[in-house]
Every structure is written in structure tokens, then in C-alpha cells.
Structure 1
């Protein structure tokens, strides 16, 4: 019996471009690091207060649950990218647009909770901070959409 032999049930595509592999791994690592940084920033007591504050109203609960769903969708996209699913890179792009628009709106005072906003004196300063915060995600999107090898991989599968 061979433990490491390929079977018909293997879902990963052969010859996945390195840039796609790097992008998928980066998505997972960025999200894991985000969670760890939030846990480190708030601590256990702060997390309990944040969750308690997030379930005070229906609107806050929906924002909280939507943010969790967004993280899980992004991780699901990362695994689907390796399988060569073209829709996964478009879905990941959509999640980034949604997150950026919400962060921008929340930072300008149109959304809650405060954890999902970027502090700043002016719109320009907030926008600059938002771009800097989303820079890793923009790099991942470039790895998925710009190189010819990545585009070809998703076109063939």
C-alpha cells in the first residue's frame, strides 16, 4: 500500500504556477496575522467586550457576522485558487472591494464598530492609511491578475 500515491480523488491541479501558490498562501497568512494582531491588540478581555458590544443591536451584529463571513470566504478563495477556479480570484477581488469600501465609509463616520475604522485627521490621511493597510491584498491581486502565467492557469482550468 502506498500512502503518498496520487488517487483519482486528488482535487489540486498539476502545475499550479508559483505565483498562484504564493498568492493563495499569502491570503491565508494575511488573514491569520490579522486575527493574531487583533487578539494581541485587544487581549482576551477586550475581545469579550468587542463581541459583547457587537451584539448590542441588529446592525452591529450583522456587521460583526459579515466580517467573519468575509474572512472565511477569503480563506475559501485561497484554497479554491490552488484548484484553478477562476471564480475564486474574482470573488477574492470582490471581498477586497467590499472591505475597502466599508473601511472607507466607517472611517468617515458612516459605519460601526470603531474597530472597523481607520483614524485620521482628514479624508486624505484616512485614504493613505487605507491604501497602506490594503497594500498586501493589492499585491496578492496583482499576483492573480497581472502575470501571464496566472491568467493562463485560470483560463485553462
Structure 2
């Protein structure tokens, strides 16, 4: 076997449904836009201060590094979705449950609200803001789990 010989498993399936392609692209674009919006909001100096603040204690460092790992897992899931990996959509769902749960808990005062929290005067306001923030991810999950073309694509793997 030569160095450039490719196996059947290394190729993405040619007949990937458009819905799955849109969902995978949306995951990547959402994360890229998140980064650009944070960079635009904080600037270079603010981003440096945020990172510096995030590594003040071991607990904050763990939360910060965990959030970065989750972003990389989500992007890896996007690429794996196009290859028809069923585990990728379930792993993406798990990352969304983890991030939503952590944002909800930190916004209510548990964890480290100075790092990751959503401002609001009441639980209802916080929940509404959280759902608005997570709406793109919810729509991606709907694209991956609801349409029959998506379910059939992942079932055939």
C-alpha cells in the first residue's frame, strides 16, 4: 500500500444530504462568529485580560480550558457529521447539554459567574436570554435529528 493510497473509510460519503451539510457548516460558522464577536467586543487587550483573568486559579483555568476543548470537540463533530458518523451528532448534543447546563448554573450564581454567565434580573430573563443565545445550536440539532433524510443518512452508517 502506497503513502497516497486512500481507504474507503477515509473519504466522506458523496451522497451527504444537504441538511447534514448545512448543519455541519452551521456549527463551524457559529463557532467562528462567536470568536469574531468576542474579539470585536474585547479587542486584543481585552482578550488578553480575559485570558489572564481566566487562569488566575486552577478552577478558573480548568473551566477556561474545558470551554476551549468543548469548542474543538464541536468543530470535530461538524467534520465527522459529513462523514456520516452517528456518534458525532450525539456528541454534539452532549456538548450542548453541558454548555447550556453550565451557563444556566453559572448565571444563577453557581460555579464562576464572572467567567461565563448571562446577565438578567430574574430566572425567567436569564432563561430567555440563554435560549436566545443557544437558538442557533438548537436549530442545528433539529436539522440533525428531525428530518427523515438526516436520520436515514446516519442510520445507514
On whether the aligned pair clears a TM of 0.5, the verdict is yes
Distance 1:83 1:150 in 2: 12
After TM superposition, the runs of 4+ consecutive aligned structure 1 residues lying more than 4 A away are 7-10
Partner of 1:12: 12
Distance 1:67 1:35 in 2: 12
Partner of 1:82: 82
Partner of 2:70: 70
Map 1:23-102; keep pairs closer than 5 Å: 23-102=23-102
TM-score, normalised to structure 2, is 0.93
Give the SS at the match of 2:121: coil
C-alpha distance after superposition, 1:53-92 (max 9, x if no partner):
1111000000000000000000000000000000000000
Structure 2: gaps (5+ residues): 1-5
Partner of 2:150: 150
Count of residues in Structure 1 that have an aligned counterpart in Structure 2? 152
Partner of 1:4: none
Distance 1:113 1:38 in 2: 17
Q: 1:17: how far off?
A: 0.3
Contact 2:70 2:95 in 1 (8 A): yes
Tell me the C-alpha RMSD between the 2 structures.
Answer: 1.4
C-alpha distance after superposition, 1:12-47 (max 9, x if no partner):
012000000000000000000000101111111111
C-alpha distance after superposition, 1:102-155 (max 9, x if no partner):
000110111225241100000000000000000000000000000000000000
Contact 1:60 1:113 in 2 (8 A): no
